[in-house]
Chain A
Amino acid sequence: GAVVSQHPSRVICKSGTSVKIECRSLDFQATTMFWYRQFPKQSLMLMATSNEGSKATYEQGVEKDKFLINHASLTLSTLTVTSAHPEDSSFYICSARDISGDLRNEQFFGPGTRLTVL
């Protein structure tokens, strides 16, 4: 149990295009999902916290108009990188928090999405 999937696993796009990344909790409900970004040889940095049915909360320095987050259901959150540029190339990782049972409030991570902007 407690599986989180991400799609796509890797994407290459041209500068100026938008890219959508999906994060799904497959066997549990998640009212909260977190989006992290990881540059080469660095640790994971939290970008935003996504709450089902409400607006996301962004960390300082993260542009909310560039990184659009939608959390429309208890099992799906999406991150859209709008007008992507080469500096947005990174490894994007989502995690979901289980709200029920023995795993209450533990975070489970997706496999990550490698974004390369040409």
Chain B
Amino acid sequence: DAKTTQPPSMDCAEGRAANLPCNHSTISGNEYVYWYRQIHSQGPQYIIHGLKNNETNEMASLIITEDRKSSTLILPHATLRDTAVYYCIVRLPGSARQLTFGSGTQLTVLP
């Protein structure tokens, strides 16, 4: 699986959009970008994934650059409950391998 780089921490005001970047310059052509988050003392939660087109679901939007070397997870209207560590993971869909977590980004939503 390709390596990813994320900023260690970010702050965001409640109600504003939170934009979390991820660099994955060594991503291969058929690898997807996955995002998970982990709220304190809970298990990781799947958010969204994508290959090259922008994706949106009820939780977030995922913007992947045209060269696929970076992506941004967007939480359109952050709430206090979105405070968590966000992990960007690059992998093949349906891979038999386990998910490998980097250090992620600690997002703190401020009131």
A41-83, CB under 8 A of B: which get 1 and which 0?
Answer: 0011010010000000000000000000000000000000000
- Knowing that A34-B99, A105-B94, A105-B95 are A-B contacts, what are 15 other residue pairs whose CB atoms are under 8 Å apart, sorted by A's residue number? A4-B43, A6-B43, A43-B87, A43-B101, A43-B102, A44-B38, A44-B101, A95-B43, A95-B98, A107-B98, A109-B44, A111-B42, A111-B43, A112-B41, A112-B43
Number of interface residues of B (CB under 8 A): 19
The residue that B46 contacts in the complex, of A46, A105, A108, A112, with Cβ under 8 A, is: A108
Tell me the minimal C-beta distance from B103 to chain A in angstroms.
5
Q: Is A106 an interface residue (CB 8 A)?
A: yes
Chain A interface bracket (under 10, 10 to 19, 20 to 34, 35 or more): 20 to 34
Tell me the minimal C-beta distance from A108 to chain B in angstroms.
7
Which secondary structure dominates where chain B touches chain A?
loop
B69-94, CB under 8 A of A: which get 1 and which 0?
Answer: 00000000000000000010000011
Known: A105-B93, A107-B99. A93 touches B44 (CB 8 A): yes
Q: Which residues of A contact B (CB under 8 A)?
A: 4, 6, 32, 34, 43-44, 46, 49, 91, 93, 95, 104-112, 114
The residue that B43 contacts in the complex, of A46, A49, A106, A109, with Cβ under 8 A, is: A109
List A contacts of B50 (CB < 8 A): none
